Amino acid sequence: MTIKYTTLLLIAATLSSAVISNNLIAGEDHGKEDQHSDHHGEEKSHGDEGKHNEIEGHIEITLSDALKAGIINATAGAGQINKMTTVYGRSVINPKAISQVSARFPGLITKLSVNVGDVVKAGENIAQVESSDSLKRYNISAPISGVVTERYANPGELASLQPLLTLENYDQLWVEYKIFPSQQAIKKGQQVTISSTVAKTQSNIMYLMANKNQPFMTAIVPLENSNGLWTPGQMLAGSIVTSQMDASLVIDNRALQEVEGKNVIFVTNKSGYETRELQLGETDGQVTHVISGLRVGDKYALSNSYLLKADLGKAGASHAH
């Protein structure tokens, strides 16, 4: 019995020693896990801090580097929101810029020195006719500057009442826009932005005329064309300012960027820029009324603000890793 008891004591002591050892090992492992957990918590904390900076949207950049990147700032302030109506029409030649050149007296055409496509200046001699009555020759000069678009006669032929040439000047075109009854807010004198797929300019409604047996009126808008950018017959859109609303604070639409589904701009701070979420009101496509998120006098990135958005995206990607 003593042997058995002694044996049991030895077994119990061995098991107790094993339990203590296991507890110590478990304690050490638990300590390591706690340390690892604490370290992971620190990393998570750092990660949260990075995420916080990303949400705030701070971008560090010097003024000189911003200028090198083509980022131009603007100052927030009051402005006007224009209510626009879009109309469509075609460019035509101003009736005053078309001239039919004829002989003053009937006679024989002795010289016709211009052809279709030639450009002439007002007062330039372009033809000569020998009078049938006096048999004296007289010169015919161009009444306007322009291009020869038609030629109806040749030297050796008789000139009577028919035109010899047609001259057209394209320096000042007209745009004829159709104005329908639903567009009654359109009036003479209103500002018009004339645009094609490649160009844009501004003018004003010069005439507003009714059309017989037609359900629309015609708005005549002068189109400056001394640079030859426009041609007769072009289909052109017109954005007409029919009313204006004064706004205490507006922003240029070129500055607006969308970040995580929100309308934001990049406002300057001491180290560069920071994002500002805006609550927006009415817009005319060029400027927008700012309800909240910005103050008068704040400076914001206008040109190339998309570069700041791209940099913000890179920062977010690095925090994600």
**For residue 284, what pLDDT is reported?**
87
Position of tokens 């030649």?
93
Return the closest-CA partner of residue 166 out of 93, 76, 274: 93
Whole-model pTM over 0.75:
no
- What does the pLDDT look like over 181-209, one tens digit per residue? 999 999 999 999 999 999 999 999 999 99
Mean of the pLDDT values across residues 241-252?
93
Q: What is the pLDDT of residue 40?
A: 46
Alpha carbon distance 106, 212 (integer Å): 39
Bridge partners of residue 241, in order along the sequence: 84
59-80+247-320 fold: 2.40.420
pLDDT at 141 over 90: yes
Distance CA 94, CA 192 (A): 18
Q: What angle do CA 222, 287, 294 make, to 5 degrees?
A: 160
Please write the tens of the pLDDT for every residue from 21-59.
444 334 444 444 444 444 444 444 444 433 333 445 788
Q: How far apart are CA 237 and CA 196, in angstroms?
A: 6
Average pLDDT, the chain: 84
The confidence score (pLDDT) of residue 39 equals: 46
What does residue 57 show for φ and ψ, rounded to 5 degrees? 75, 35
Q: What is the pLDDT of residues 274-317, one digit of tens each?
A: 999 999 999 988 899 999 999 999 999 999 989 998 887 665 55
Question: How much of the chain, in percent, has pLDDT values that exceed 90?
Answer: 68
Tell me how far apart the alpha carbons of residues 224 and 102 are, in angstroms, rounded to a whole number. 29
Provide mean pLDDT across the span 138-155: 97
Quickly count: other Cβ atoms within 10 Å of residue 288's Cβ: 23
Give the residue-averaged pLDDT of 131-151. Answer: 96
As a whole number of Å, the end-to-end CA separation of the chain is: 69
pLDDT of residue 314: 65
| CATH for the stretch 95-168 | 2.40.50.100
User: What pLDDT is stored for residue 294 in this prediction?
Assistant: 95
Dist. CA 136–CA 262, nearest whole Å: 83
How many other C-beta atoms lie within 10 A of the C-beta of residue 307? 17
pLDDT tens column, 203-233: 999 999 999 889 999 999 999 999 999 999 9
Report d(CA 277, CA 266) in Å as an integer.
9
3-class DSSP string for 39-80: HHHHHHHHHHHHHHHHHHCCEECCHHHHHHCCCEEEECEEEE
Using N-to-C axis directions, what is the helix angle for 2-56 and 306-320, rounded to 10°? Answer: 180
Measured CA to CA, the distance from residue 318 to residue 321 in angstroms comes to 5
